[in-house]
Amino acid sequence: MRKRLALLVWLIAIAACACAETIVLHTGARVQGTIVFQNEDVVIVRDASGARSQYPRADIKEILGENTEAVEETAEPEIQQIETPKKASILLEIAGGAGIQPTEGAGGAVSADLLVGSHHIRNRHVFAGAGIGYHGLFLAGEKYNFLPIQAALRMPLTEDKHAPMFGVAVGYGIALSKTYLGGLYAGIDFGYRCQLNPRSAIGLTAYAQFQQAVVNTTEYIDGSAFINKTGRSLISTGLKLSLYF
């Protein structure tokens, strides 16, 4: 019985030595054990008794019989720092172009909109939000100024850094003058957007906007003045610069 027990201990010792590595230090010293962890800075070794010792990588000359499988199983996982996109976002849009009204001809148009919403929907850089702005049209000496309250959607067609995109907006334009009334507002954009980073982007698009207005007009019949309310469709088109941040 004692001979069998001694043989078993001897076999276990041989197996332990077969799986062990030898750490050779620059001082000439040798340390035998199993490597349980290592990286570019340190090596941790467990000896036959189970005790662990730590050696700086700079002090190690070489490792003999390295058990890479054991090291890979016990090595600490690499932690990647992933920057998550900011879901809340602000969209600033500035536009300029031509204004058109069939009865008054063509003129100029400018606009500025500030929208607040989400810039990351269903893991895509899609902006959906709402806000206010200023839209002005200058037609044949007449000025039409509106304060649009709107909901808007801006969507890239791909998730590439440089991507075509389209957008739509609907709302109500409040007239900023007593000589006319506001009405339904709608707009559509199509162009290009560059995703600068997960949190911001810049876009350049062609746009078309529609604004309904009710204008007071004066008609003279037999020397008497009559005031009528006439509906007009005001259209503007041009280029728009968009900033997402």
Same domain flag for 130 and 222: yes
> Residue 19: which pLDDT band, with cuts at 50, 70 and 90?
low
Same domain flag for 133 and 57: no
Same domain flag for 50 and 125: no
Residue 156 sits in a domain whose CATH number is 2.40.160.20
123 pLDDT exceeds 50?
yes
Portion of the chain with pLDDT greater than 90, in percent: 40
SS3 readout for the chain? CHHHHHHHHHHHHHHHHHHCEEEEECCCCEEEEEEEEECCCEEEEECCCCCEEEEEHHHEEEEECCCHHHHHHHCCCCCCCCCCCCCEEEEEEEEEEEEEECCCEEEEEEEEEEEEEECCECCECCEEEEEEEEEEEEECCEEEEEEEEEEEEEEECCCCCEEEEEEEEEEEEEECCCCEECEEEEEEEEEEEEEEECCEEEEEEEEEEEEEEEEEEEEEECCEEEEEEEEEEEEEEEEEEEEEC
Give the structural domain span for 168.
Answer: 88-244
Indicate the average pLDDT of the chain: 82
206 pLDDT exceeds 90?
yes
Same domain flag for 158 and 116: yes
Same domain flag for 229 and 171: yes
In a domain, 82, yes or no: no
Bigger pLDDT: 51 vs 69: 51
> Residue 242: which pLDDT band, with cuts at 50, 70 and 90?
very high
245 pLDDT exceeds 80?
yes
Structure confidence at residue 72 (pLDDT): 41
